[in-house]
Amino acid sequence: MDKAHLITYLVSLAFIVSGLIVCCILYLFKDKINKITPENIENINSKVKEIIQENVVIGPDVSAVYIGKKIKANADYIVEEIIKKQKQQD
C-alpha cells in the first residue's frame, strides 16, 4: 500500500469515526433536545443570549466579532505568563 492509499484510508476512517462520535453525542443529549418545545424556547434563547453577551461582543459589522471580556482576560493572563517565562529563560 503506497502513501496515497494510506492517506485516503486514514481520512475515510477519520470521517467515519467523527460521524460516530457525533451520533453518540446526539444520543447522549437526546432528552435535552426533546425538551425543546415552543413553550420553553424563549427561556433557552435568553440563556443563549446571556452566554453570548458574556463571552462575545459583536461589532456593527457582522464580520467584526470581538472576544468577550472573560475570554480576553484569560487570554491576556496566559500571554503575560508566557512572556514572564520567556524573560526568566533569557
Taking Cα atoms as reference points, which of 22, 23, 47 lies closest to residue 35?
47
Grid cell in block for residue 90: 533569557
Q: Strands of 3-88 (E only): list them.
A: 56-58, 65-67
pLDDT in tens, 4-26: 888 898 999 999 999 999 988 88
| Greater model confidence, 46 or 84 | 84
- Nearest 10 degrees: CA dihedral of 47, 51, 57, 58? -50
- Cα dihedral 53, 54, 57, 62 sign: negative
Cβ neighbours, 10 Å, residue 69: 13
Residue 65's pLDDT is 52
Mean pLDDT of the region 29-52:
72
Please tell me the total number of residues recorded for the chain in this structure: 90
| Greater model confidence, 42 or 80 | 80
pLDDT in tens, 49-68: 777 666 665 555 545 455 55
Residue 1's pLDDT is 67
Residue 54's pLDDT is 67
* 2 half-sphere exposure, CB direction, 13 A CA radius: 1
